[in-house]
Amino acid sequence: MKTTQRHFDEQLQELRAHLLAMGSLAETMIVKSVKGLVERNDTLVQEVFTHEEEMDQRCIETDQRCFTLLALQQPMAGDLRFIAVAIKINSDIERIGDLAVNIAQAASVLITQPALKPLIDIPRIALLCQEMVKKSLDAFVARDPELARIVIESDDSVDSLRDQIFRELLTYMMTDPAIIPRALDLILVSRYLERIADHATNIAEDVVYIVRGEDIRERGDKEIRKGLRRQTSVSPEIPGVEQVATLTAHRLMPEEREFLSLIESAAHNLLETARSLQTMFEDYTDPAEKWRKIREAEHEGDAITHRIMKRLNQTFIPFFDRENLHALASAIDDVVDFIEATASRMVLYKIEQPTPESREMVTLIMASAEQVAKAVSQLPRFDTVQEICVEINRLENAADDLFRRVIARLFESDLPVLELTKWKEIYESLEGVTDRCEDVANVVETIALKHS
**Cα gap 46→55, rounded to integer Å:** 15
**Residues 140-168: tens digit of each pLDDT:** 888 888 898 899 988 888 888 888 888 88
Please give the mean pLDDT across all residues of the chain.
80
Q: Quick one: CATH architecture of 2-217? A: Up-down Bundle (1.20)
User: Are the beta carbons of 441 and 394 closer than 8 angstroms?
Assistant: no
pTM value is 0.58
C-beta neighbour count of 146 within 10 angstroms: 11
Confidence of residue 271 (pLDDT cuts 50, 70, 90): very high
**Residues 104-129: tens digit of each pLDDT:** 988 998 888 888 888 888 999 999 99
Domains in the chain: boundaries: 2-217, 238-451
Length of the chain: 452
User: Are the beta carbons of 332 and 301 closer than 8 angstroms?
Assistant: yes
User: Are the beta carbons of 257 and 318 closer than 8 angstroms?
Assistant: no
* Same CATH fold assignment for domains 2-217 and 238-451: yes
**What mean pLDDT is predicted for residues 176-198?**
83
- The CATH number, out of the four listed (1.20.58.220, 1.10.1740.10, 3.90.1580.10, 1.10.490.10), of the domain defined by the range 238-451: 1.20.58.220
